[in-house]
Amino acid sequence: MQRMKYPWALLCVPPSNHSELWEEMDLNNNTEKANENVHSVAKQEGALVKSLSRKPNGITLLEKAKEKLLQNNTIQTSRCPRHLKIKNWETGTILQDALHHEAKEVLNCQNKVCQGSLMNPKGLIRGPREEPIPRDKLLLQATEFIHLFYNTLQKAETEEHTTRLEAVAQEIERTGTYQLTNEELIFATKQAWRNAPRCIGRIQWSNLQVFDARSCTNAKEMFEHLCRHLEYATNGGNIRSTITVFPHRTDGKHDFRIWNNQLIQYAGYQMPDGSIVGDPAKVEFTQLCIQLGWRAKYGCFDVLPLVLQANGQDPELFELPPELILEVSMEHPTYEWFKDLDLKWYAVPAVSNMLLEVGGLEFTACPFNGWYMGTEIGVRDFCDVRRYNILQEVGRRMGLETNKLSSLWKDKAVIEVNIAVLHSFQKQSITIMDHHSAAESFMKYMQNEYRIRGGCPADWVWLVPPISGSITPLFHQEMLNYIISPFYYYQVEAWKTHIWKDEKHKPKKREIRFCIWAKAVFFASSLMRRAMAVRVKATVLYATETGKSETLARKLGDMFNCAFSTKVTCMGDYNLKDLEKESLLLVVTSTFGNGDAPSNGKTLQNALLSMKQLSNKFRYAVFGLGSSMYPEFCAFARLVHQKLAQLGAFPVSPMGEGDELNGQEEAFRNWAVLTFQTACEIFDIRGKHKILLPKEYTCKETWNPKDFRIVYDSRPLDLEKALGDIHGKNVVPLTLKFRQNLQSSQSSRVTMLIKLSCEASQEINYLPGDHLGIFPENREASVDGIISRVADAPPFNEIFRLETCCDRGYWTPYKKFPACTLSQALMHFLDVTSPPSQQLLRSFSQLAEDKSEKERLNLLCHNLEEYNKWKFYNSPTILEVLEEFPSIRLSTSFLLTQLPLLKPRYYSISSSQDWVPQELHLTVAVVSYRSRNGKGPVHHGVCSAWLNAMAPKKTIPCFIRSAAGFQLPKDPRKPCILIGPGTGIAPFRSFWQQRHFDLEKKGIQGRGLILLFGCRHSSLDHLYREEMEEMHRKGILQEVYTAYSREPGNPKDLLRKELEAEVYKLLHEEEGHLYVCGDIRMASEVAKTLKEMFAKKLSLTEEEAEDYCFQLKRQKRYKEDIFGATFPKENQRTMEEIKTEGPIKVLQTQAQLKL
């Protein structure tokens, strides 16, 4: 047999081999120290080589080492290993960790996921082996350990060192493994404890008592060793840190294992009624012990037997002698009743299921113990829900408000339980440590380790005690978690991997129960498969920008699941190939911008428009959501409905439309029920007349005061978090830094430049063209006026939450918004300014006590024409409705459940983050008008008026909404035409600021922007005039064209002939980009003008010109950022004029701009 060569090159590796780990520059400027270390290492390696060259069999190995060196060409000086800095946020102390370079394995983190909070990550678990460790791999790891051992003893490069290395190599060559000396074993066990990142008591690592049980051969001997271990460790209550080490793993088939998690642990019994007696965490292992022959006692604190496996044989049971088990009965220093709980716990926490890895050897049985930290028993063992779970009983006996979380009863109770544990142990003079002392000792240990070893592996998640958190020093200390050898690993439970030698003794599974359960599951699943297999498949597609369409789509899916096999999918995730496989397609979608699809619906839109015919003529139904404020109301939904019909699909029901301003929810319910009933008829669904639909579709929605109740709370409102949870946004508070009126002092209107600032620590990133969403506040006068009409209004500063009674009769939190005061709810969360919908008026009619008012409300909620006339004339707020119908008797729960949510207001950002870091600018027109043809009360824009009245340095809850379809082209050489009248200039200011930054700071010369701007008067409301002129002088704006709609002799279409040829050239010939920002009607007028221009220039029909413009949008070269009518009074006029003139001829009171 060829003799195994010992890899001496491991100890003579040139520094260049190490440099792969140290390629980063030394951030701590320790270059001088690094060179000293490198020279020292080189000196040691040289000495070791010399010592080896004196040995006869070392000469050959030295030749191999030299050959290894020649392969690396040259020896380079390595850089200093990069230190990782960790900070103590309480003291400001910085520690530098270099020890992590010795880490052996990837622990918890992956490229995209941190698994640091997992209980048992894969990196900490060693499973069984089916064959021995390969000799070469074992030799490498043995070398590292022997080197570490002799370095620690300061005997490196000595004759003793090299002799031991040769002996290990020869033993591995001969037997496939090797044995540690007694000194090496003691060193390894202590070093592994020292390296244990989850142990808070490591300051005692050097005091570990080691019992060598490697000569053990059978389970009986194992038991005797363990009895000696417990006797020594217990020491009459003066607990001593102890470990007993059994033979290491060889081929994986002769393992020594202790099947118990701890040497002492209490049983848990699953009773016939499902209850548990004892420790719930030990139910599975207790059942195993019973099946192995242990006689259960069915007490709460029965000590389980030891289940021991020796040399790979089947396990044997051993009862621990009672005299070896020291237990502590629990009592409290002040609460006499605590004794009545009959609690006790064992004194020695001896962990017995871990694996010691050292030098490639795996010791699968090495029980060890320290002593308890009080919270391990008081918090985890006694109070965890999946353990003894005594917290509720303790709180009840203490007289705490256990039905009210805000009373902090859990915190009070758990403290008293811990006091009882510490008191009980100390009373019997049994070693225990409180968590504060343990934390302090670990901090001292950690500092010593950084001084001695340059690091300390530590798992923050595990080390911070389960109570007291930030009042312990550990909470504030950053830590690094890594594995260095020697190390204690977790193991897979032995009973899950053991291969039984005697099948008669193998525990039997609960065959009857499992069989019954399996049959029941199989029978139920088979029935379900049969039912679903014969059901008609239905697909519900949704496209949304705000989430409303998704909510309704899922409700529709729930309804159709009553009779169909239904799947709900976002259009953006839909496989277009499945379109030809559909039987029933249901579409719920909103419309975005100027009649466009939402971003996640564009792929389906393009696919439908490119399709010529469907081979599969499926059934379909479409429901559109939108606002009648926009001329292109439900345009995308109508497009889908019409296109599917053109392709040959058959509609199940007429298209449904839900108007945000008028009973959207009710319209959806009516359409959904009609569609479902019709679909059942068309597909001849069996038992269709007996199908029970969800309750919300079958009963007429009315408000029932018995369904809600007020519960007082004490938790203060976290506004930003609440708004983020309600609206699903990442809300950040910005500060009002500056506000300036951009209009002339002679102007009757106000347009503000608002500058908001954010702290450096806040993460808020945006691009030119993006939007800022702002959560405004309602006016205080309106809120107070409403509260004065609430019959059961809580005290002004009283915090409460709303609860609702579910179908099962118990009360659950109303999740629309969190606990707050009534004024906070009306101020921040509820819309009190928008005209009420017909649905809300129907609810108001329930509360009206005057007969004539009730009749009037019923007329308005049932007669759409009368309702529209009333709404557009009055544009009433909630307070004005209450003033018009004073007999309405309001309640708090009614307001909170029936009023709609106050929606965020969106503004185009008027700044570049590169140009003004930590700032964000807005251009805001302050809205103020009178209803009732100018004779009614003054109405103010909710957000604009709030911003205009706000004091500087006040915070504003905000979030960024990306406008990916309205951003500058990536190629700055492409021509850009910007059209924006009035406040439509807002995003274009961010454009020119970005181009200015690119030119000034980056030296990027982009093509000048062409700006078309319109307003009323050049002297009154020409916004950013000076900036425009400056940008024009610098070439950022190539041309600036203006139109003033209220100045005599200045036609609105003055620019048409001048620009027609240039616009055509830039868009058609040079593939430029067109940006339009402003009112929806202005955008429609621009679109009409463009179509006429292309039809004329390219000799296209009207339909071809429209398709040409559509292609520009698909290529993302025609981009729109548009909004609805500015003033509600214009809505009324718009509704009337659209009927007679069509939307294109309706002109906004702002300047209108034509090309």
pLDDT of residue 25: 33
Among residues 1132, 1119, 1123, the alpha carbon closest in space to that of 1150 is found at 1123
Q: Could you tell me the residue ranges of all domains in the chain? A: 528-697, 965-1127
pLDDT of residue 1050: 64
Distance CA 1088, CA 1079 (A): 14
Active-site choice (199, 289, 861, 958): 199
Q: What is the pLDDT of residues 117-136, one digit of tens each?
A: 888 888 899 999 988 999 99
**Locus of tokens 């977790």:** 490
pLDDT of residue 1006: 86
Q: What is the pLDDT of residues 686-729, one digit of tens each?
A: 776 767 666 566 555 567 788 888 888 878 899 999 999 888 88
345 or 62: which leads in pLDDT: 345
pLDDT of residue 666: 78
55 or 82: which leads in pLDDT: 82
**Exposure letters 736-768 (e unless 16+ CB within 10 A, then b):** bbebeebbeeeeeebbbbbbbebeeeeebebbb
pLDDT of residue 600: 86
Q: What DSSP line would sit under 421-440, residue for residue?
A: HHHHHHHTT---B-HHHHHH
Eight-state DSSP code of residue 134: P
For 697, the token pair is 């579709």
Please give the helix or strand (H or E) that residue 812 lies within, else none.
strand 811-813
Side-chain half-sphere of 528: how many Cα atoms within 13 Å? 9
Among residues 81, 83, 71, 82, the alpha carbon closest in space to that of 14 is found at 71
Confidence of residue 631 (pLDDT cuts 50, 70, 90): low
**Fold category of 965-1127 in CATH:** Rossmann fold (3.40.50)
Cβ count within 10 A of residue 1155: 24
Please give the helix or strand (H or E) that residue 512 lies within, else none.
helix 511-534
- Answer whether 78's CB lies under 8 Å from 40's CB: no
Question: What is the layout of strands, in order, in the sheet containing 708-712?
Answer: 708-712, 800-805, 811-813
Partnered with residue 563 across adjacent β-strands are none
Confidence of residue 1055 (pLDDT cuts 50, 70, 90): very low
Annotation marks residue 199 as catalytic: yes
Quote the percentage of the chain above a pLDDT of 90.
57
Mean of pLDDT over the chain: 84
Distance CA 655, CA 674 (A): 11
CATH class of 528-697: alpha beta
Average pLDDT in the 656-685 region? 86
Has residue 19 got a pLDDT over 80? no
Distance CA 543, CA 537 (A): 20
Distance CA 645, CA 122 (A): 55
Annotation marks residue 930 as catalytic: no
Average pLDDT in the 55-78 region? 39
Question: The pTM is what?
Answer: 0.53
**Locus of tokens 């009171």:** 1149
Amino acid (one-letter) located at 827: M
Is 965-1127 the same fold as 528-697? yes
Q: What is the pLDDT of residues 783-812, one digit of tens each?
A: 999 999 999 899 888 999 888 876 555 677
Active-site choice (102, 157, 357, 376): 376
For 1153, the token pair is 């701009």
760 or 337: which leads in pLDDT: 337
Annotation marks residue 8 as catalytic: no
Q: What is the pLDDT of residues 800-844, one digit of tens each?
A: 988 887 655 567 788 788 899 999 999 999 999 999 988 889 899
Distance CA 628, CA 1124 (A): 10
89-103, 297-311, 1047-1061: least confident range: 1047-1061
Give binding residues as ranges.
199
Who contacts 516 (Cβ-Cβ below 8 Å, separation ≥6)? none
Among residues 987, 958, 474, the alpha carbon closest in space to that of 723 is found at 958
Cβ count within 10 A of residue 827: 21
Annotation marks residue 202 as catalytic: yes
152-161, 756-765, 1098-1107, 1135-1144: least confident range: 1135-1144
For 262, the token pair is 């701890």
Quote the percentage of the chain above a pLDDT of 70.
84
Give binding residues for heme b as ranges.
199
Has residue 13 got a pLDDT over 60? no
Distance CA 922, CA 755 (A): 7
pLDDT of residue 289: 94
Has residue 1141 got a pLDDT over 50? no
Residue 362 phi/psi, 5-degree rounding, is -120, 110
Q: By CB neighbour count within 10 A (0-12 exposed, 13-18 middle, 19+ buried), where does 70 fall?
A: exposed
pLDDT of residue 338: 94
**Locus of tokens 């209490």:** 266
Residue 299 phi/psi, 5-degree rounding, is -105, 170
500-514, 756-770, 966-980, 985-999: least confident range: 500-514
Active-site choice (193, 371, 495, 671): 371
682-696, 866-880, 987-1001: least confident range: 682-696
Side-chain half-sphere of 731: how many Cα atoms within 13 Å? 19
Q: By CB neighbour count within 10 A (0-12 exposed, 13-18 middle, 19+ buried), where does 565 fall?
A: middle
pLDDT of residue 519: 56
pLDDT of residue 1150: 30
Active-site choice (202, 535, 905, 1081): 202
pLDDT of residue 1036: 94
pLDDT of residue 814: 84
Average pLDDT in the 489-494 region? 94
pLDDT of residue 31: 34
pLDDT of residue 711: 84
Distance CA 298, CA 296 (A): 6
Q: Please report, to the nearest 10 degrees, the dihedral formed by the alpha carbons of residues 251, 256, 258, 261 taken in order.
A: -30
**Locus of tokens 């204690």:** 488
Distance CA 1083, CA 590 (A): 19
pLDDT of residue 1133: 40
Confidence of residue 664 (pLDDT cuts 50, 70, 90): confident
Report the first-to-last Cα separation within the chain, whole angstroms: 94
Q: What is the pLDDT of residues 392-413, one digit of tens each?
A: 899 988 888 877 788 899 999 9
pLDDT of residue 653: 93
pLDDT of residue 349: 97
